[in-house]
């Protein structure tokens, strides 16, 4: 197997492809850490990066509000049962992969009180 | 002046002639005292006093005997401690209505006086507020003050040199004119009742403290008033405020001219009084005794505001008639009336000096306050306006009885009625009225906490006026005289609150008073409110871009986590409620 083929396999393993401009595209995940896993019902977060993220999508079981994303700094909401782990995915150029950040704005309890959570203990991170 | 005269059969002839006036004189209240008290005290259970230090005479406290207070009041009135009339004995002594018997009409009201059952009480935490009773700062529940102000007291009068002393009475003491003799300060007597029927005596109840009798009135007791109202006579002379019958006389005198309980004047009165209460709440930062003045003004404000949950008071206006009566009795230049007119002006109200009509606008003048006279009694009798007042009374009764489905600026749709039907309202309506009171009182404590500049606090668009977002502004019925019409004060409320919910000016409910013809039923809905779009709900959450007005945001919050602002929790509740999808 040639060296080029080996590189190609590695990129595929990392979730990369090439967009129409020929740049390598990568799929990134927004990962939530919550002290109330399974008991949160909605969240608002802001995704910021050097470029407009593409194909922004909620994972199965969650609903994404505020799409389609058209700005490099976009605020979206998610509803559904939120658990620790991936809640959102998007694509961007590989060169930007480590430049996206996510900021958690609000989280609400999923019970009938729909009370806002204290964000202590919560975090979101953008990961490959 | 109406002379006190023993109520007797001699008045049977004039009773026929003046029956029209009697009915007019009984159009006192949208809700009865026990209803005002009940809903206002319920609201106090949810008020957060923040970091406020209250004077020693005030406190948020549990009141385990809250229900007993109602029972004691009804027992003095008609001798029974439960609802209904079972067990009533007209020969029982020491009972108010068995003593004030011949020619008196209050018994009907006392029979209907409803004692909340344990489930209806829901909470016994209340806010105690002092009022001077002639001998001491007696404690009343805030709900009792809401009931008393407006129906039994025109002004809020507090001692200029003592911020914690506010009066519910004309003076510390008084003497009877006709039957002679001074009386002990701070007590109410039943001298104008009948003590002996034949050889059976003891019907006049023993004298009781002023604080007790007023607390009973504020809990639902109807004081003695004649079957002719005060059309031809009073029970007591004007200065004999220490007789129980004086309080029935005063109720009638006020009812004759109570335009500040109705329609636009009610909104102006609320706003004016609430602005004054806010001023005193800020003053309480440097002297906690001002909390007393703040809560007395607030109680008067909320009497009028809660009246606007009675459909008759939403529709009918009594401005012109009250103005004429005050003029005919040469009372417009009195200090009491000047003080009251200033309240309306401070609330954005403007009275046409030709017709007496009050229009409420959105421009609030710089706040000006003054001391009200303690002796605020005015001899406001119907004079020649009995027929007009009767028509207003009949409209009031008819609209209250029919009720209507209405909407507020939070887009909450609910059904309202009127007298005796606070409990008949469904739970949603009760909750909205309770929330109105809570939000208004809470704004005083929020102001204390935040300490904003006074001009900003009492100016247009201030969050301190958010309680107005709860009151009916639109008739959501599909049929009837006002289907799809906006109240005459809707535009002012929109601008005062910054609700972002402009009414259709082509569909404003016209003036309805005793000189108006009964309106015809509409064949179609006049207008429908603009829709709140899904896109706006989402955009407001994500971008805070004004896609939703304040009214809609507060409405979503009310139906969500009710924490005071629109957020992810309210959005989640909206998604679940509407089934909306991205």
Q: In this predicted model, what pLDDT tens digit does every residue of B109-144 receive, in sequence order?
A: 999 999 999 888 888 899 999 999 999 999 999 999
* B437 or A9, which is more confident: B437
CA dist., res. B469 & res. B439, Å (int): 10
Q: Measure CB to CB from residue B542 to each of A76, A79, A113 and give the nearest one.
A: A76
The alpha carbon of residue B300 and the mean position of all alpha carbons in its chain are separated, in whole angstroms, by 7
B256, B334, B370 from B341: Cα distances, Å = 16, 11, 12
Is B389 within 8 Å of B320 (Cβ atoms)? no
pLDDT above 80: residue B348 = yes
Is A109 within 8 Å of B568 (Cβ atoms)? no
Is B381 within 8 Å of B257 (Cβ atoms)? no
The alpha carbon of residue B153 and the mean position of all alpha carbons in its chain are separated, in whole angstroms, by 11
**Burial class of B35 by CB neighbour count within 10 A (0 to 12, 13 to 18, 19+):** buried
pLDDT above 60: residue B2 = no
Phi, psi (deg, nearest 5) at residue B3: -80, 140
Residue B340: how many CA atoms within 13 Å on its side-chain side?
29
Planar angle of CA B311, B312, B313, nearest 5 degrees:
90
The alpha carbon of residue A7 and the mean position of all alpha carbons in its chain are separated, in whole angstroms, by 26
CA dist., res. B276 & res. B270, Å (int): 10
Planar angle of CA B187, B191, B192, nearest 5 degrees:
130
Residue B561 C-alpha, separation from nearest chain A C-alpha, in angstroms: 5
Choose, out of A42, A67, A80, the residue to mutate when testing the contact with B (most B CBs < 10 Å): A42
| Residues above pLDDT 70, as percent of chain B | 94
pLDDT above 60: residue B530 = yes
pLDDT above 50: residue B26 = no
Nearest CA among B523, B528, B521, B476 for reference residue B506:
B528
CA dist., res. B324 & res. B319, Å (int): 9
Residue of A nearest to B573 (CA): A114
What pLDDT digit, counting tens, does each position of B143-177 carry?
999 999 999 999 999 999 999 999 999 999 888 88
CA dist., res. B172 & res. B242, Å (int): 9
pLDDT average per 10 residues of sequence, chain A (128 residues): 38 46 85 98 97 96 95 96 98 95 98 98 97
CA dist., res. B580 & res. B582, Å (int): 7
Is A90 within 8 Å of A47 (Cβ atoms)? yes
Residue of B nearest to A41 (CA): B572
CA dist., res. B164 & res. A30, Å (int): 58
Q: What is the pLDDT of residue B520?
A: 84
- Cα of first residue to Cα of last residue in chain B, in angstroms, is 71
What number of residues does chain B have?
A: 582
Chain B residues closer than 8 Å to A107 by CB: 568
Q: What is the pLDDT of residue B479?
A: 87
Q: What is the pLDDT of residue A20?
A: 56
- Cα of first residue to Cα of last residue in chain A, in angstroms, is 27
Residue of B nearest to A43 (CA): B568
Per-position b or e across B395-421, b if 16+ CB within 10 A of its CB: bbbebbeebbbbbbbbbbebbbbbbbb
CB contact under 8 A, A77 and B567: no
Task: Calculate mean pLDDT across residues B367-371.
Answer: 95
Q: Does B64 touch chain A (CB under 8 A)?
A: no
Nearest CA among B325, B289, B312, B296 for reference residue B150:
B296
Choose, out of A79, A106, A112, the residue to mutate when testing the contact with B (most B CBs < 10 Å): A79
Indicate the helix (H) or strand (E) that contains A73: strand A73-82
Is B501 within 8 Å of B491 (Cβ atoms)? no
Task: Calculate mean pLDDT across residues B339-356.
Answer: 98
Q: What is the pLDDT of residue A17?
A: 56
Q: Measure CB to CB from residue B563 to each of A75, A107, A116 and give the nearest one.
A: A116
Q: Does B427 touch chain A (CB under 8 A)?
A: no
Q: B93 Cβ partners below 8 Å, 6+ apart?
A: B201, B202, B203
* B251 or B24, which is more confident: B251
β partners of residue A45: A76, A104
Is B483 within 8 Å of B525 (Cβ atoms)? yes
What number of residues does chain A have?
A: 128
B68, B262, B358 from B265: Cα distances, Å = 35, 6, 6
Chain B residues closer than 8 Å to A44 by CB: 541-542, 567-568
Phi, psi (deg, nearest 5) at residue B399: -65, -40
Q: What is the pLDDT of residue A112?
A: 97
Q: What is the pLDDT of residue B420?
A: 75
Question: Which chain A residues have any C-beta within 8 angstroms of a chain B C-beta?
Answer: 41-44, 63-67, 75-77, 79, 105-110, 113-116
CB < 8 Å from A in window 509-548 of B:
538, 541-543
CA dist., res. A117 & res. B420, Å (int): 42
Chain B residues closer than 8 Å to A64 by CB: 582
Phi, psi (deg, nearest 5) at residue B283: -65, -25
Chain A residues closer than 8 Å to B567 by CB: 44, 106, 108, 116
Chain B residues closer than 8 Å to A114 by CB: 560-561, 569-570, 572-573
């Amino acid at each position: 197997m040639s060296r080029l083929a080996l590189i190609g396999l590695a990129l595929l393993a990392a979730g990369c492809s090439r967009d129409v401009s020929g740049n390598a595209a990568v799929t990134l995940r927004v990962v939530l850490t919550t002290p109330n896993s399974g008991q949160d019902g909605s969240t608002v977060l802001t995704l910021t990066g050097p470029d407009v993220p593409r194909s922004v999508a909620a994972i199965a079981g969650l609903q994404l509000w505020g799409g389609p994303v058209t700005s490099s700094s976009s605020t979206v909401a998610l509803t559904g049962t939120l658990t620790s782990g991936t809640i959102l995915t998007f694509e961007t150029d590989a060169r930007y992969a480590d430049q996206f950040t996510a900021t958690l704005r609000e989280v609400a309890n999923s019970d009938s009180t729909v009370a806002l959570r204290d964000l202590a203990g919560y975090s979101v991170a953008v990961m490959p | 002046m109406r002379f006190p005269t023993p109520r007797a059969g001699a008045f049977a002839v004039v009773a026929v002639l003046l029956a029209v006036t009697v009915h007019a004189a009984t159009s006192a209240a949208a809700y009865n005292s026990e209803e005002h008290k009940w809903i206002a005290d319920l609201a106090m259970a949810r008020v957060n006093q923040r970091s406020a230090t209250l004077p020693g005479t005030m406190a948020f406290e549990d009141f385990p005997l809250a229900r007993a207070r109602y029972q004691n009041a009804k027992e003095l009135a008609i001798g029974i401690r439960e609802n209904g009339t079972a067990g009533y004995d007209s020969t029982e002594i020491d009972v108010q209505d068995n003593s004030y018997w011949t020619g008196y009409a209050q018994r009907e009201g006392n029979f209907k006086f409803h004692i909340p059952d344990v489930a209806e009480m829901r909470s016994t935490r209340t806010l105690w507020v002092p009022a001077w009773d002639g001998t001491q700062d007696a404690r009343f529940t805030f709900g009792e003050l809401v009931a008393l102000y407006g129906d039994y007291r025109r002004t809020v009068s507090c001692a200029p040199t003592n911020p914690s002393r506010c009066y519910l009475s004309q003076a510390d003491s008084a003497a009877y004119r006709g039957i002679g003799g001074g009386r002990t300060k701070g007590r109410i007597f039943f001298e104008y009742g009948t003590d002996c029927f034949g050889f059976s005596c003891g019907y006049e109840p023993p004298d009781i403290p002023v604080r007790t009798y007023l607390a009973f009135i504020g809990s639902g007791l109807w004081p003695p008033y004649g079957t002719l109202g005060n059309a031809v006579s009073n029970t007591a002379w004007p200065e004999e405020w220490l007789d129980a019958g004086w309080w029935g006389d005063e109720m009638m005198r006020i009812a004759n001219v109570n335009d500040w309980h109705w329609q636009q004047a009610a909104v102006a009165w609320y706003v004016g009084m609430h602005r004054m209460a806010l001023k005193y709440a800020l003053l309480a930062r440097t002297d906690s005794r001002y909390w007393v003045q703040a809560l007395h003004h607030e109680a008067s404000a909320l009497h009028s505001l809660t009246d606007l949950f009675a459909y008759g008071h939403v529709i009918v206006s009594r401005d012109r008639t009250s103005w004429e009566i005050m003029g005919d009795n040469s009372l417009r230049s009195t200090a009491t009336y000047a003080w009251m007119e200033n309240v309306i002006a401070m609330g954005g109200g403007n009275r046409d000096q030709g017709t007496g009509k009050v229009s409420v606008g959105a421009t609030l003048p710089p706040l000006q306050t003054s001391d009200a006279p303690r002796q605020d009694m005015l001899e406001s009798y119907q004079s020649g306006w009995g027929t007009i007042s009767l028509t207003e009374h009949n409209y009031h009764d008819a609209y209250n009885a029919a009720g209507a489905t209405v909407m507020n600026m939070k887009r909450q749709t609910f059904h309202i009625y009127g007298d005796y039907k606070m409990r008949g309202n469904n739970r949603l309506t009760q909750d909205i009225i309770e929330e109105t009171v809570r939000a208004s009182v809470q704004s005083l404590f929020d102001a204390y906490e935040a300490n904003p500049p006074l001009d900003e606090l009492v100016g247009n668009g201030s969050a301190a006026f958010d309680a107005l977002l709860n009151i009916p502004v639109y008739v959501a019925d599909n049929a009837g005289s006002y289907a799809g019409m906006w109240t005459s004060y809707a535009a002012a409320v929109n601008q005062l609150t910054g609700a972002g919910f402009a009414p259709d000016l082509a569909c404003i409910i016209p003036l309805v008073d005793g000189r108006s013809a009964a309106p015809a039923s509409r064949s179609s809905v006049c207008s429908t409110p603009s829709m709140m779009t899904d896109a706006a709900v989402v955009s407001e959450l994500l971008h805070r871009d004004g896609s939703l007005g304040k009214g809609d945001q507060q409405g979503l919050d009310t139906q969500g986590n009710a924490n005071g602002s629109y957020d992810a929790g309210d959005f989640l509740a909206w998604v679940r409620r509407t089934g909306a999808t991205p």
